[in-house]
Amino acid sequence: MKKIIFMFFTSIILISECHAQTTITLQFLDTCFVYQPGSIEGKDARINSLEIYGGNQIELPVDAWTWFGEPGIDRSLIEFDLSNIPTNTEVLEATLNLYGAEDLPTGGHSTLSGSNEFIIQRVTSWWDEDAVLWATQPQTTSWNQVNIPPSQDPYQDYEIDVTELVQHMVTYPDSNFGFLMKLKTEEHYRKVNFASSDYTDDTKRPKLTVCFTYSVGQKELAEKKYKIKVYPNPTKDVLNIEFPQEFSGTHKLGIYDLNGRMVNIVEPDVLENSLIQQISVENLPDGVFIILFEYYKGNYMSKFIKH
């Protein structure tokens, strides 16, 4: 799975009244995930009509140019792993950020012979970052394609609305093969060029921000009278749960995924002298989880990330 940076905005969590069951109903509002994978986790590739370039480069050119006097065309592919977003999600906004850089091997954007307006299409077939070639480039669809205006300077950054494309990828995860970028008019000498996931500066790698509403059922909003600290967050193996001084006595902890399914339960324990409890999450897959604390004073929740 790709390395993921998460951002959470205002959210509401709903739970069912019967906490003894092995499922809970969750509702999140206006939650955003930010994906900006690096060289190991990222999947992007340059495809060149002269077959003189391949994957694992630091740039993603979209151009029509000449190489040693021979005309050719560059297109670029990017794919993000969105499998942690539930399929019954309404995507409120999805933004693709692409970054120019002064040290890219083939230079910056160019309008030498005319407009470098380009388009982004949804890819509809599988491709291999290390093996894809011009002759084997994946299929795409023009449905909901995005038209991006020409550049204003050679190293311009772009912020692109790809909401409709991402909505399809989330609703039909088996058909998520990413984006293809190509010039609207593939005539020489026109170019846009961006840093790839292999670029050394991680702030300039392609970034996708997806804000969505995830809703299951209609339940009453759970009260949260006490602050329970959960750390480290994100975590790889061990989660510390620190309770306020008001707590003592028997409690039970349950861990749930974003579909409301219980994935782990900590048998009833007693809080006495120590108000910090450690639990192992080493066997959980990477993703976002809810920890539900059941106590006679009420039921309290917190989110954490495992990666």
pLDDT per residue as tens digits for the range 166-210: 999 999 999 999 999 999 999 999 999 999 999 999 999 999 998
Q: What pLDDT score was predicted for residue 292?
A: 78
Total number of domains in the chain: 2
Q: Is the pLDDT of residue 218 over 80?
A: no
Q: Of 241, 248, 259, which is closest to residue 302 (Cα–Cα)? A: 241
pLDDT band of residue 220 (cuts 50, 70, 90) is: very low
Cis before 189? omega within 30: yes
Cα separation, 126 vs 154, in Å, equals 32
Structure tokens at 247: 């707590």
Q: What pLDDT score was predicted for residue 258?
A: 76
**Does residue 232 fall inside a structural domain?**
yes
Give helix then strand counts, H and E, for the chain.
Answer: 1, 19
Query: Among the three residues 191, 215, 239, which one is the final residue of a domain in this structure?
Result: 215
Cα separation, 170 vs 276, in Å, equals 38
Cα separation, 38 vs 205, in Å, equals 7
Query: Among the three residues 170, 187, 215, which one is the final residue of a domain in this structure?
Result: 215
Q: What pLDDT score was predicted for residue 62?
A: 98
Residue 217 CA, distance from chain mean position? 25
**Does residue 68 fall inside a structural domain?**
yes
pLDDT band of residue 89 (cuts 50, 70, 90) is: confident
**Does residue 76 fall inside a structural domain?**
yes
**Does residue 286 fall inside a structural domain?**
yes
pLDDT band of residue 253 (cuts 50, 70, 90) is: confident
Q: What pLDDT score was predicted for residue 226?
A: 52
**Does residue 241 fall inside a structural domain?**
yes
Query: Among the three residues 169, 185, 215, which one is the final residue of a domain in this structure?
Result: 215
Q: What pLDDT score was predicted for residue 229?
A: 77
**Model pTM score:** 0.65
Q: Which helix (H) or strand (E) holds 165?
A: helix 163-171
158 in the same domain as 100: yes
Domain extent for 146: 33-215
Q: What pLDDT score was predicted for residue 181?
A: 98
- CATH number, domain with residue 290: 2.60.40.1930
12-60: per-residue pLDDT in tens?
444 443 444 445 555 444 577 889 999 988 999 999 999 987 667 999 9
Average confidence score pLDDT of the chain: 82
The rounded percent of the chain whose pLDDT value lies above 70 is 77
Q: What pLDDT score was predicted for residue 289?
A: 86
Q: What pLDDT score was predicted for residue 133?
A: 94
Average pLDDT over residues 115-134: 96
Cα separation, 222 vs 241, in Å, equals 19
